[in-house]
Chain A
Amino acid sequence: MTAKLQLIGIKKRLRGRQVLDGVDLDVAPGRSLVVIGGSGQGKSVTLKCALGLMKPDAGQVLVDGADVTRMPQEIRARVMRKFGMLFQGAALFDSLPVWENIAFRLIYADHVKRADARERAIEAMRKVRLAPEFADVRPVELSGGMQKRAGLARAIIAKPDILFFDEPTTGLDPITADAINDLIVEMVKELNCAAVSITHDMASARKIADEIAMLHNGKIVWRGPAATIDASGNAMVDQFIAGRAEGPIQAVV
């Protein structure tokens, strides 16, 4: 199947350090790829390069086969409409009520009437099991789990082709984290979109991934079906999923 999103040889140097050193990734429609790796290994930078929030020093990001890294800003903005993103801290806009956060793209980019946008926002809230009575409150009044739900509703409202998740379960209790994982799986299936997640939560990775890739020292060191990760045969993957300090990966303390 043709890849919806493809990263080819992505390199990025930040503050004198080679964060990404030739990352190759691809994900097909309806498939969910999870990138795991320790802190500071370049997971977030990979996501930012894929999203166009950061320009890679070398390599290509292909969306439906078109290289978006060298596109003019205006055309790139159109490609951005294919993306939905759930940020680690949800990144909801403090100054707007929850419904307007969710409907932001509809109102300000797609110029949908406010009344229609509100209706669609409330429909999206129902989908992520966020009660509509929270539509008019400010994000700061929501719990961490509810903020993630609102962030997910915002990511899916425009029915994106590619969904990105940045540490979707960080900071949540295990039960809420599992509920968010279930929602992610459900939304990816419902939209039949390609999904790319980054996490170091193995429970989350096992639940939401069709495939898992491990990033270490700016390179993909292993990639395979999620079901085979326990038999990867890669010492770094084994150390990471077992959560051991001893092994080829040096713990950063």
Chain B
Amino acid sequence: MINPFAPIGRGLLEVLAEIGRFAAFAGRAAGSCFSPPLFAGQFGRQAMQIGYFSLPVIGLTAVFIGAALALNIYVGGARFNAESFVPNIVVLGITRELGPVLAGLMLAGRVSAGIAAEIGTMRVTEQIDAMTTLSTDPFRFLIAPRVLAATLTLPLLVMVADIIGVMGGYLVAVHSLGFNGATYLRNTFDFLESQDVILGLVKAAVFGFIIATVGAYQGYNSQGGALGVGRAATNAVVGAIVLILAVNYVLTAFFVE
């Protein structure tokens, strides 16, 4: 007789095994970032690729989100005569939540999929095996520079996103909603606390680590030719997004307490 709980148990064990494999991979990836040799040239290339070339997409996302946020807060605030709180809530929302989360989500699509596809192609064409036979550890040469670059550049991108997002809110508030520009900026800076910015930057660094590690994990373990590489890229995006949202809640709860 077939045990009806067997498939559930098997599925659960497989999920736990996958979590274990990913945790071991992430630990090895993190360790590789701090053990020599460090490939500075590779790190520089990845920092440009992940950080600098993501600026346009992050900037555009931030300006529109800041603008839309200002409009929504104005409409919502008008219901209880709190329109004047627009600058305060825009800056709080952008720095603590929307800046890091949206930058993380955008990079999960752009960077995590790219890393998974690149490393996955290297895996299925035996380039990773070739690297090992050439006495070079793929974790140090391929994965550590990407993980380090994403972890260090995402906070910088989020700082830019914070500034552009606040400017998006400012432009809508001043030009569409009739706010005084100087008053808007003064309220913004008076209300902003350093811990709001720090929370956003800590989140960004963690999200950067997640984005690169999930992409590298999926790519490194891909198999089955083009189909496998495509699957790795899809799994990387989905996995990174889910992890970012879950970890975002944990970090927010931790900082609130």
Contact = CB atoms under 8 A, between A and B. Distances in A.
- A and B physically associate: yes
Interface of A: 48, 51-53, 77-78, 80-81, 83-85, 87-89, 91-94, 104-105, 108-110, 154, 164
Given A108-B39, A108-B141, A87 B134 contact: no
Interface string B89-133: 000000000000000000000000000000001100111011111
Nearest to B42: A108
B136 A85 contact: no
A104 B121 CA distance: 19
A85 B126 CA distance: 11
B127 A91 contact: yes
Given A91-B126, A91-B127, A93-B127, A53 B132 contact: yes
Contacts of A81: 135
A88 B136 contact: no
Secondary structure class of chain A's binding surface, majority of residues: mixed
Contacts of B39: 108
Interface of B: 37, 39, 121-122, 125-127, 129-137, 141
B134 A109 contact: yes
Contacts of B134: 104-105, 108-109, 154
Given A89-B125, A91-B125, A105 B130 contact: no
Contacts of B137: 77
Given A85-B130, A87-B130, A91-B130, A108 B125 contact: no
Contact of A105 (B122, B125, B127, B135): B135
A211 B3 CA distance: 55
A1 B137 CA distance: 33
B126 A87 contact: yes
Instruction: Return the 4 tightest CB-CB contacts between A and B, nearest first.
Output: A109-B135, A91-B130, A91-B126, A105-B134
Contacts of B131: 93, 104
Contacts of A51: 129, 132-133
B133 A80 contact: yes
Max count, chain A CB within 10 A of own CB: residue among B125, B127, B134, B135: B134
Nearest to A85: B133
Contacts of B122: 93
Contacts of B133: 51, 53, 80, 83-85, 164
Nearest to B124: A89
B24 to A, nearest CB: 14
B244 to A, nearest CB: 27
Given A81-B135, A108-B37, 17 more contacts: A51-B132, A53-B132, A78-B135, A83-B133, A84-B133, A85-B133, A87-B130, A88-B126, A91-B125, A92-B130, A93-B127, A94-B127, A104-B131, A108-B134, A109-B136, A110-B135, A164-B133
